[in-house]
Amino acid sequence: MAVNPQQEFIWQGRIHLGDEPGIYGDAHYTGICAEFPITIYRSDPSNTDDKPFKLVLETEDLNTYNGYPGHTITVIIYEPDPNQQFHSVERVIVQGRFTSVDNNRKEIEVKPGTVKGPFSITVRLRVDTSVNPGLYDDFIWSRLSLISPNYTYYASFGFISP
């Protein structure tokens, strides 16, 4: 599969999610959930329109049972708390599901709002726990990227200090 020429790499590795530690000996086991911090920048900070970008999650061996909702993807933005200096408030800006139908690659569209930026978000991938314990899907999260038409946005892995 060719990579989109406007797709920006954010993170690559081998994170094992699921309920059976040790299945993937070459991956770090995180359990039921993994969440990555990202800082998003606007290429032109004066342009604060609400154009979307896409986050691309890539996995290996992700399989879900028919009739179950799939693994949850949650994107959270961290905004300054207007009531307390040096505090922030979490706000979910998008949720989606990752299933076998996605063939180990899921694009999630994110509309960050009209904040000037840079802004801090996290991307959380959580195993589908509607299945009985012991039957959870074990898989590898292997890559996270950003797609932004005309490079309106770019990203860095981790948060920056305000």
Tell me the mean pLDDT per 10 residues along the chain, length 162: 67 97 95 97 88 96 95 96 93 97 97 88 97 95 95 93 72
pLDDT for res 49: 84
Which pLDDT score, from 0 to 100, does residue 29 have? 97
Q: What are phi and psi of 35, to 5 degrees?
A: -140, 130
Instruction: Provide the pLDDT for residue 1.
Output: 43
DSSP string, 22-38: TSSTTSEEEETEEEEEE
Amino acid at 141: W
Per-residue buried b or exposed e for 84-96, using 16+ beta carbons within 10 Å of the residue's own CB? eeeeeeeeeebeb
| Amino acid 2: pLDDT | 47
Distance CA 71, CA 61 (A): 13
pTM of the prediction? 0.92
